[in-house]
Structure 1
Amino acid sequence: MSVLFISSSFFGYATHIKKELEKRFENVLWYEDRPSTSFLGKVKTRLLPSIAEKMAFRYFKRIADENRDKKVREVFVIKGESLSVESIKYLRKVFPDAIFRLYFWDGYKNMPSSSFAKVDYFDVALSFDPVDVKNDSRLKYRPLFFIRDYQNDRPVTPDIDLLFVGTAHTDRYKIVKKIDESLAGSGVNFHKVLYCPSRIIYWARRVFDPSFWSVKKDDFIFKPISHKELSGLMSRAGAILDIERTAQTGFTMRTLEILGSARKLITTNPSVLGASFYDPKNVLAIDRKNPAIPKDFLRSPRIDVDKAIIAYYSIAAWADEIFGALPKIRAKLPEQQVPTLVD
């Protein structure tokens, strides 16, 4: 039995998902969720939607035609930003017996408006965003996951008090800078790794974004670090900072990697206060406009989290839940387990 898996590579996570799917299916047919993954290709998708949609339809039509004899019984799409309703209809025509599953690892507010309409064409639809799930009864809640690289079975003594590693999107740099300034002279070792996906983006923000006018090029890296390197850094940190996009309420991948790494979490996402793993000794929610990190939180010991809770956020449990969810056209979906939202 084959599964057609459509997803962006997204920092290599799709490779790990593919490995999980290979434990469940004889054949995993993985394709990028857009015709071009280059920077210019992504710009075209956002700025020239009509042209990009035609290119995307031809791309997905070719994928369907190439695999029509592969006994595809599952079609699994993650986000599918370039996948139009017409493309989905064509896939369903070619694979009439397949179960179509959709997972959003982004929020509606951060995706094209067409994302909402796509849900009707899937048998099972899940999202990592609790607000979207609350407002759209078609969605089932399922948080993201951490991969095995971040399972910290042998914690080491930290030599970094606070760590931040992330893409310098939206207001992240501004928040990191405020925290850095607030910790100046405190003796706290704050290690920062800011990633910019393109030098073009860097220089554009230097010109048009006032928060970037004072930055230095040396403050950024332009090549993403590997999961091995990142997990090594995280194992050396006592606490790790995560800053979600303002348009999202779901737990980021980093949040759950921190959980798997057995490190303290500092986050600007208030949804974490309703999480199953929340404990004020391990998790600190800060105000993104006025971020303040008490030294007592950094210096106090972390307590262990129930192993069953940690296991729930593993990539294996994530895949089990997605493919264990029965299609809505054949059975009622399981009860949604959404964290309590905290304003």
Structure 2
Amino acid sequence: MLLQQNEKKIVILGAPKNFGLNSVISDQLGVLGFEVVDINIEEKPFYYKSLVLRLKNLYRKLILKDYQYKDVLRKRFLDEQYEGKFAHIQQADYALFIRPDLFPKSIIAKVKNITRLTVGYQWDGLNRYPDIFSRIAIFDRFFVFDPVDLALPGTLPLTNFYLDQQITKQEDNNLTGKSTDILFIGTYIKERIPDIYQFFNLFKNKEEVEINAIINTHSQELVEEIQERCPIITTTYDGITYLENIDLVRQSKALADFSNYLHDGLSFRALEAIGFNKKLITTQKSIQKYDFYQPDNILIIDPTTDYNQVITFLNTPMREIDPLIKRKYSFSNWIKYVFDQEEHIPINLPAQS
């Protein structure tokens, strides 16, 4: 997959900055030989660029009763920040927008005008962020990860991925953290928190199982709730970067995953389990429809799951995944499929019953 220097292709990238994901994706593309132009911005507070504009807004508001003009100026101000990121690019080979609802439609359209292939991927349910619907038609190829969303004409199937290029700064034999039996890292989402409490309370006073469960929240009230309801869980205010998460994954035996019931797409944890040869404990029943599912590797839990079932699962040897299936979910194949390059393995989603 590595490109020759004289074949380097330009990719304009727009991706969420949460937990450093845009940087991780940019680095992966760079290792694969692409030249990456990341258009993410650090938004500056709005200011009038001249006294004339300030007076014009005042006139329109007081005399013409136009209370929207300042919003027009704000949008123009924001667009100029984005445009500055790719103003030096006359022609790009690819553009990749992940969570396109986070980016102005006008910017996506301008990027498309200078790009051979413009791709969008919504790694959340379409209905959760309705602003996405007005952007879909802009793209040459538009991907969704929830099988339900394939009912919308013009959408293509896609999952998330695991990192397979220059994963982290640490090599496996240099990891210094404590080994963990079950790892969970996630943000506080109300819909899934009862499942999280119920599962981790199975391990209360069970010292033989090493648990590392971390929830990110900025609410002191929620921190106190977590401490009261399930003391085994720790909290973090600042969050954990994606690369720090990967280091913890590599030091763990099994990953825990809890559906938020707002969509039915695969989380990153499911793909990380494939890529890093980890067991997966999940509430997502539909995972058994995927080609990588093995009951020895993946335990689907519900309110009836007990401690002994989990221990038996952890002690059962893993089954090796077909190398072709494993390669399919790697970032290297993912980007080939997304950009419709040769020798990619198509990524499908299970049919809805």
- Give the TM-score normalised by the residue count of structure 1: 0.76
1:141 aligns with 2:145: no
1:108 aligns with 2:133: no
Alignment of 1:261-276 (within 5 A): 261-276=276-291
Asked whether the 8 Å contact 1:61–1:90 carries over to 2, the reply is no
**Alignment partners' CA distance in 1, 2:71 and 2:283:** 35
Match of 1:337 in 2: 348
More displaced stretch, 174-183 vs 122-131: 174-183
Deviations along 1:261-318, one digit per CA (max 9) or x if unpaired, are 211111111221111110111111122x555461321221111111211111111111
1:255 aligns with 2:270: yes
Deviations along 1:232-285, one digit per CA (max 9) or x if unpaired, are 433343322111321121111111111112111111112211111101111111
Equivalent position to 1:99, from 93, 110, 117: 117
Match of 1:219 in 2: 234
Match of 2:260 in 1: 245
Deviations along 1:153-172, one digit per CA (max 9) or x if unpaired, are 88x9x954322222222244
What is the CA distance between 1:4 and its match in structure 2?
1.8
Alignment of 1:228-307 (within 5 A): 229-287=244-302, 292=306, 294=309, 295-307=311-323
- Give the TM-score normalised by the residue count of structure 2: 0.74
The one-letter amino acid of 1:161's match is D
1:71 aligns with 2:90: yes
Match of 1:323 in 2: 339
Match of 2:60 in 1: none
**Alignment partners' CA distance in 2, 1:136 and 1:114:** 15
Asked whether the 8 Å contact 2:253–2:278 carries over to 1, the reply is yes
The one-letter amino acid of 1:222's match is Y
Match of 1:182 in 2: 202
Match of 2:37 in 1: 29
**Alignment partners' CA distance in 1, 2:315 and 2:245:** 23
Asked whether the 8 Å contact 2:100–2:135 carries over to 1, the reply is no
Q: Secondary structure at the match of 2:277?
A: coil
**Alignment partners' CA distance in 1, 2:80 and 2:298:** 46
The one-letter amino acid of 2:91's match is V
**Alignment partners' CA distance in 2, 1:323 and 1:68:** 23
Deviating runs (4+, > 6 A) in structure 1? Answer: 50-54, 150-154, 210-213, 215-218
What is the CA distance between 1:320 and its match in structure 2?
1.1
Larger Rg: 2
Any stretches of 5+ residues in structure 2 without a counterpart?
Answer: 1-8, 46-68
Match of 1:6 in 2: 14
**Alignment partners' CA distance in 1, 2:103 and 2:152:** 20
Equivalent position to 1:120, from 114, 126, 137: 137
Any stretches of 5+ residues in structure 1 without a counterpart?
Answer: 38-49, 327-333
**Alignment partners' CA distance in 2, 1:212 and 1:132:** 37
Equivalent position to 1:132, from 146, 149, 155: 149
Asked whether the 8 Å contact 2:217–2:237 carries over to 1, the reply is yes
Q: Secondary structure at the match of 1:177?
A: helix
RMSD, aligned CA: 3.7
Asked whether the 8 Å contact 1:161–1:238 carries over to 2, the reply is yes
Q: Is the alpha carbon distance of 1:10 and 1:36 closer, same or farther for their aligned partners in structure 2, counting shifts above 3 Å?
A: farther
Match of 1:196 in 2: 216
Match of 1:16 in 2: 24
**Alignment partners' CA distance in 1, 2:232 and 2:280:** 28
Q: Secondary structure at the match of 2:11?
A: strand
The one-letter amino acid of 1:192's match is N
